[in-house]
């Protein structure tokens, strides 16, 4: 492998050199190797989940023909999952959108780019304050960045939010409230070093399969690992677990407090760690003492929590003892189970509490670790900050200083950025329905399938001016006024940021089909058209086009022109501009060209005295993170109080907003399956994946099924207070829910389970709870 590696770096450096001159990269930028069959290979991260596996993409005759795991990528070491291997086929579905479409007389009709761009520019100019952008954790970093600059720096409104609101908003607010800054301290390497893994409502065998096998393959090598799965349903992950702790939905709040209770009562907290690194706060944000915290915990004794949660007392004690053992190295993992929760922020805080009390954070092999679902939920939504209240690099709209700094880098007129946060996702769709927003541009996501309680939240959306940029027809393009055909993955340049703070870059390798074009270009073209039409909002402080792209010598590049865009690496220019905004909160990124050479680096990435750039494996850890104060083992330097202390919050258990009753006697939990990505816009067009999992189903516990007289294969109606779907029953199948709970995956556009789900959300993170609502089941003949 050394040979090809050397070649790769050499050629990458050449490519970077070309880029440095401000020239375009050759279409096949940095081939790893090229053989007699005309096949070449280049690196790109996987397009699907937040694991961020490095892939090698095989290109032949201008088409993707194969995808392999990159052995050089430390995330996956040569492996991918079934979605990753089949990713190439996601580009070649027969119904790819290849030309812009405009709704005329009720139907979508083919139009030119010119016509589409003019129409969008006119509509936005007519009502800029009520135009919104709904983006995605699948936005590349430059895509999110340019969309935000256009809306927040240009139009001066903040109605910009990503679908990541539905997926990791609670993780963000969890980090912010506990540590003062977003994103994890630990990294995937901790999976190689831990002795105990605890998953909190997380089926990583299907959702983050490469990380799951990174752990269980250690067992195959003879290592001893204790794996504890906390869940409401048995999954493929549970099969690998030594202990399965089945809890009643929502009682995870009490279970986490029960661990804290045991640590405090048994005297097994890490007192040294607490003295130096932690403060205690009441739920209403008042400083409290350890004694006061202890009395708060009295309600969470093993006996009480066992009764509430249904988890046997000895299993709760097992958790308490493991955390209380100073020698045990523990990793906690979670994703949607904790985030899609009406108390998502609290449960994130509570799991941090357990790790903080036990001092199990900031040590190799011991860390709480929040997984992300989307490939750049971290890189784009959280780091660029494409949220209704946020600005790049951990800044917020509400801060005068933050706004001024961003206006400076963006070259906006002073005061251009509005201090008032925009609508978060759920409020945005409500405002669109009511007409308080008149327009929305949807990019890289499919809300008409993924928003909860669809019927209520998408009402009237089709009457507004909705622009949808996507690669295939979806439920959302059905309600669109304008559909723009996008380029995807290796049809464009891109940069993603994964769950472990790793930023990964790739080059365009093939041409997009037909007239499809990258979203970055689409935004530039619309913005420039508005500028040409005289729109003051799109003028910077120098009176020039606000979104001007410049080459390394500072010359303007007419990137809004497609022929220019294609020949110039706009990603590189935008990324290098954005970099300047990442330093304030210690999320430092290296220059673009550094990422060309490697399979990603974890921030903060800091320049060394010899001129090289060094990544940080573990944040807040002495000897690893350059921002930790000299002599400290751990330094939570993001703490808002400036005291380097993380906060242990006294968050109580609270009942869920809707629970089963006599009319709707079952819990409904929704989720994903290994084969499909989100709403299956891509994976549903891949033969191997679609054949393996053609449609959704409802998992029912065998006892419930018997009572209802339902067998596998029977048709069943699942009904809530909001809506119903019909689907087919599966008993004892892939997952086995607890008695009284049913599970339905949400990928199937023919059976929209989000007609049924609840739209209650966490009041702090505004993330809805897709995991719990009450439904009735009815067997259909």
Q: Tell whether residue 83 is a contact of ligand SF4 (CB under 6 A).
A: yes
Distance CA 521, CA 491 (A): 13
Measured distance CA(226)–CA(194) in Å, rounded: 9
From another protein, ligand SF4, none, which one binds at residue 65 (CB under 5 to 8 Å depending on kind)? another protein
Whole-angstrom Cα distance, residue 593 to residue 22?
Answer: 12
Among 174, 209, 671, 768, binds ligand SF4 (CB under 6 A): 209
Is 490 a binder of ligand SF4 (CB under 6 A)? no
**Pick from 658, 654, 653: which is nearest to 772 by CA?**
658
Q: Work out how close the CB of 344 gets to ligand SF4 at its nearest, in angstroms, rounded to a whole number.
A: 22
| Residue in 53, 73, 167, 669 annotated catalytic | 167
Q: Which of residues 215-244 bind ligand SF4 (CB under 6 A)?
A: none
Is 336 tagged catalytic?
yes
460 binds another protein (CB under 8 A): no
Q: Which class for 213: exposed (0-12), middle (13-18), buried (19 or more C-beta within 10 A)?
A: middle
Q: Is 528 in contact with 547 (CB distance < 8 Å)?
A: yes
Distance CA 184, CA 292 (A): 28
Touching another protein, residues 713-732 (CB under 8 A): 713, 728-730, 732
Contacts of residue 609, Cβ cutoff 8 Å, sequence gap at least 6: none
Choice between 4 and 418, CB closer to another protein: 4
Contacts of 217 (CB under 8 A, 6+ apart): none
* Stretch near ligand SF4 under the rule CB under 6 A, chosen from 45-53, 179-187, 617-625, 741-749: 45-53
Taking CB under 8 A as the criterion, which residues in 734-753 touch another protein?
734, 750
Contacting residue, 95, 284, 285, 661, with another protein by CB under 8 A:
95
Task: Establish if 48 lies at the interface with ligand SF4 (CB under 6 A).
Answer: yes
By beta-carbon proximity to ligand SF4, the closer residue of 58 and 154 is 58
By the rule CB under 6 A, 689 interacts with ligand SF4: no
Note whether 722 and 757 are within 8 A (CB).
yes
Taking CB atoms, the residue at the shortest distance from ligand SF4 is 84
Residue 514 binds to another protein (criterion: CB under 8 A): no
Distance of CA 21 to the CA centre of its chain: 34
Span interacting with another protein, options 57-65, 243-251, 290-298, 627-635, rule CB under 8 A: 57-65
Residue placing its CB nearer to another protein in the complex, 107 or 220: 220
Reduced to 3 states (helix: H, G, I; strand: E, B; else coil), residue 294 is helix
Strands 613-614 and 287-288: unpaired
Residue 90 interacts with ligand SF4 (CB under 6 A): yes or no: no
Cβ 340 to another protein shortest distance, Å: 24
DSSP per-residue letters across 18-71:
HHHTTPPPPSS-S-S-B-TTSEEEEEEE-SS-TT--EEEEEEETTEEEEEEE-T
Question: Which of 92, 533, 702, 707 lies at the binding interface for another protein (CB under 8 A)?
Answer: 92
Q: Which of 84, 373, 379, 600 is catalytic?
A: 373
Q: Is 231 considered catalytic here?
A: no
| 736 near ligand SF4 (CB under 6 A) | no
With binding defined as CB under 6 A, does residue 80 bind ligand SF4?
Answer: yes
**92 vs 542, which CB is nearer to ligand SF4?**
92
In three-state secondary structure terms, 422 is coil
Of the listed pieces 81-89, 135-143, 282-290, 575-583, which binds another protein according to CB under 8 A?
Answer: 81-89
Catalytic residue among 262, 374, 504, 522: 374
What are the residues whose beta carbons fall under 8 Å from the beta carbon of 714, sequence distance 6 or more? 728, 729, 779, 780
Comparison of 212 and 323: residue with beta carbon closer to ligand SF4: 212
Task: Find the shortest distance in angstroms from Cβ 68 to ligand SF4.
Answer: 11
Closest by CA position to 9, among listed 37, 32, 29: 32
Could you tell me which residues come within 8 angstroms of residue 530 by beta carbon, excluding any fewer than 6 positions away? 121, 124, 125, 537, 538
Q: Which of 49, 168, 381, 426 is catalytic?
A: 168
Q: How far is the CB of 690 from another protein (least distance, A)?
A: 4
Q: Name the binder of 49 from ligand SF4, another protein, none, CB < 5-8 A by kind.
A: ligand SF4
Among ligand SF4, another protein, none, what binds residue 540 when CB lies within 5 to 8 Å by partner kind?
none
Task: List, in sequence order, every residue forming a beta bridge with 41; answer none if it has no partner.
Answer: 58
Query: Interface with ligand SF4 includes 81 (CB under 6 A)?
Result: yes
Of the listed 187, 258, 336, 412, which one is catalytic? Answer: 336
Report yes or no: 173 and 345 within 8 Å, Cβ to Cβ: yes
Q: Where are the alpha helices (DSSP H) in 458-569?
A: 519-532, 562-567
Q: Is 374 a catalytic residue?
A: yes
Q: Which is nearer to ligand SF4, 209 or 365 (CB)?
A: 209
Calculate helix-pair angle for 344-357, 252-265, nearest 10 degrees.
Answer: 20
**Calpha distance 183→620 (Å, rounded):** 11
Instruction: Give the residue with the Cβ less far from another protein, 348 or 683.
Output: 683
Q: How far is the CB of 675 from ligand SF4 (least distance, A)?
A: 10
Whose CA is closest to 151, among 565, 547, 579? 547
Number of neighbours of residue 55 by Cβ within 10 angstroms: 29
Choice from 9, 20, 216, 459 touching another protein (CB under 8 A): 216
Q: What is the DSSP secondary-structure string of 539-555?
A: B-TTSSBTT-EE-TTS-
The SS3 assignment for 435 reads coil
Residue closer to ligand SF4, measured from CB, 70 or 769: 70
Residue 210 makes contact with ligand SF4 by CB under 6 A: yes
- One residue of 68, 99, 268, 301 binding another protein per CB under 8 A: 68
Q: 48 contacts which partner out of ligand SF4, another protein, none, CB within 5 to 8 A by kind?
A: ligand SF4
Looking at the Cβ atoms of 4 and 283, the one nearer to another protein is: 4
How far is the C-alpha of 698 from the C-alpha of 574, rounded, in Å?
A: 45
Let me know: does 32 contact 44? Beta carbons within 8 Å.
Answer: no
To the nearest 10°, the Cα dihedral for 128, 129, 130, 132?
80
The structure tokens 């007129």 sit at 413
Asked if residue 68 lies in contact with residue 56, where contact means CB atoms within 8 angstroms, the answer is yes
Using CB under 8 A as the binding rule, the residues of this chain from 317 to 346 that contact another protein are none
Residue environment code for 569-590, b if the CB has 16+ CB neighbours within 10 A, otherwise e: bbbbbbbebbbebbeebbbbbb
DSSP secondary structure string for all residues of 589-626: ---HHHHHSSS-EESS-EE-TTS-EE--SSTTBTTT-T
Stretch that binds ligand SF4, among 47-55, 147-155, 335-343, 618-626 (CB under 6 A): 47-55
**Nearer residue to ligand SF4 within complex by CB, 43 or 152:** 43
Cβ distance to another protein smaller for residue 37 or 115: 37
| Active site (annotated) includes residue 207 | no
Q: Does 243 bind another protein (CB under 8 A)?
A: no
Binding to another protein in span 638-677, by CB under 8 A: 674-675
Contact partner, 143, from ligand SF4, another protein, none, Cβ < 5-8 Å per class? none
Kindly tell me which residue out of 15, 30, 53, 698 binds ligand SF4, with binding defined by CB under 6 A: 53
Select from 19, 46, 351, 668 the one that contacts ligand SF4 (CB under 6 A). Answer: 46
Kindly indicate which of the ranges 78-86, 403-411, 559-567, 739-747 contains the residues binding ligand SF4, using the contact rule CB under 6 A.
78-86
188 binds ligand SF4 (CB under 6 A): no
- Number of residues forming the site for ligand SF4 (CB under 6 A): 14
Among 80, 377, 668, 744, binds another protein (CB under 8 A): 80
Question: Which residues make up the interface to ligand SF4 (CB under 6 A)?
Answer: 46, 48-49, 51-53, 76, 80-81, 83-84, 208-210
As annotated, the active-site residues are: 83, 167-168, 336, 373-374
């Amino acid at each position: 492998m050394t040979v090809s590696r050397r070649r790769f770096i050499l050629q990458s450096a050449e490519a970077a050199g070309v880029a440095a001159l401000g020239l375009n990269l050759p279409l096949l930028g940095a081939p790893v190797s090229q053989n007699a069959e005309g096949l070449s290979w280049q690196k790109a991260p996987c397009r699907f989940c937040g694991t961020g596996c490095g892939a090698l993409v095989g290109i032949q005759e201008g088409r993707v023909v194969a995808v392999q795991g990159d052995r050089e990528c430390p995330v996956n070491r040569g492996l991918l999952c079934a979605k990753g291997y089949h990713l190439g086929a996601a580009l070649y579905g027969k119904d790819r959108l290849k030309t812009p479409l405009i709704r005329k007389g009720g139907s979508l009709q083919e139009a030119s780019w010119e016509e589409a761009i003019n129409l969008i520019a006119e509509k936005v100019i007519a009502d800029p304050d009520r135009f919104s952008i709904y983006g995605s954790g699948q936005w590349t970093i430059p895509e999110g960045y340019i969309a935000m600059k256009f809306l927040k720096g240009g139009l001066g409104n903040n109605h910009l939010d990503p679908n990541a609101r539905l997926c990791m908003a609670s993780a963000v607010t969890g980090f912010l409230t506990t540590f003062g800054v977003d994103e994890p301290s630990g990294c995937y390497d901790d999976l190689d070093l831990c002795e105990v893994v605890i998953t909190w409502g997380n089926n990583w065998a299907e959702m983050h399969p490469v990380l799951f096998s990174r752990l269980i393959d250690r067992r195959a090598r003879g290592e001893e690992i204790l794996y504890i799965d906390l869940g409401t349903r048995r999954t493929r992950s549970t099969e690998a677990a030594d202990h399965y702790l089945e809890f009643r939905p929502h009682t995870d709040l009490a279970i986490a407090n029960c661990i804290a209770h045991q640590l405090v009562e048994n005297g097994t907290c890490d007192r040294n760690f607490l003295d130096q690194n932690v403060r205690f706060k009441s739920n209403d944000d008042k400083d409290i003492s350890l004694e006061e915290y202890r009395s708060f915990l009295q309600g969470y004794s093993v006996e009480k929590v066992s009764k509430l949660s249904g988890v046997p007392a000895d299993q709760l004690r097992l958790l308490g003892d493991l955390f209380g053992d100073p020698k045990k190295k523990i990793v906690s993992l979670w994703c949607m189970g904790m985030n899609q929760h009406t108390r998502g922020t609290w449960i994130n805080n509570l799991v941090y509490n357990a790790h903080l009390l036990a001092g199990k954070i900031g040590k190799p092999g011991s860390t709480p670790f929040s997984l992300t679902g989307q490939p750049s939920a971290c890189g784009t939504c959280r780091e660029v900050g494409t949220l209704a209240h946020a600005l790049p690099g951990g800044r917020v709209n509400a801060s005068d200083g933050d706004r001024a700094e961003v206006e400076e880098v963006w070259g906006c007129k002073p005061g251009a950025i509005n201090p008032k946060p925009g609508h978060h996702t759920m409020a945005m769709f409500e405002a669109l329905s009511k007409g308080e927003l008149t327009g929305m541009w949807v990019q890289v996501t499919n809300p008409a399938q993924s928003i909860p309680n669809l019927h209520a939240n998408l009402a009237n959306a089709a009457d507004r001016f909705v622009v949808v940029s996507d690669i295939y027809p979806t439920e959302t393009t059905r309600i669109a006024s304008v559909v723009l055909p996008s380029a995807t993955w290796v049809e464009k340049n891109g940069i993603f940021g994964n769950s472990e703070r790793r930023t990964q870059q790739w080059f365009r390798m093939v041409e997009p089909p037909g007239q499809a074009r990258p979203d970055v270009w689409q935004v530039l073209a619309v913005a420039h058209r508005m500028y040409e039409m005289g729109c003051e909002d799109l003028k910077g402080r120098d009176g020039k086009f606000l979104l001007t792209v410049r080459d390394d010598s500072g010359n303007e590049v007419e990137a809004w022109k497609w022929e220019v865009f294609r020949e110039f690496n706009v990603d590189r220019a935008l990324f290098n501009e954005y970099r300047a905004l990442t330093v304030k909160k210690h999320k430092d990124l290296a220059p673009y060209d550094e990422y060309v050479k490697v399979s990603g680096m974890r921030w903060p990435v800091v320049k060394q005295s010899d001129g090289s750039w060094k990544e940080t494996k573990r944040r807040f850890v002495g000897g690893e993170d350059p921002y930790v104060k000299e002599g400290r083992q751990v330094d939570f330097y993001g703490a808002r109080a400036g005291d380097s202390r993380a906060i242990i919050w006294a968050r109580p258990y609270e009942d869920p907003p809707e629970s089963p009753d006599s009319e709707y006697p079952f819990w409904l939990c929704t989720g994903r399956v290994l084969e499909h990505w989100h709403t299956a816009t891509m994976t549903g067009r891949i033969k191997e994946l679609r054949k393996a999992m053609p449609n959704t189903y409802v998992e029912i516990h065998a006892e419930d099924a018997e009572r209802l007289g339902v067998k596998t294969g029977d048709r069943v109606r699942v009904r809530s207070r909001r809506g119903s779907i019909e689907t087919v029953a599966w008993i004892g199948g892939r997952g086995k829910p607890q008695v009284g709970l049913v599970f339905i995956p949400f990928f199937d556009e023919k059976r929209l389970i989000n007609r049924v789900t609840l739209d209650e959300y966490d009041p702090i993170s505004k993330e809805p709870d897709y995991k719990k609502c009450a439904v009735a089941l009815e067997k259909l003949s």
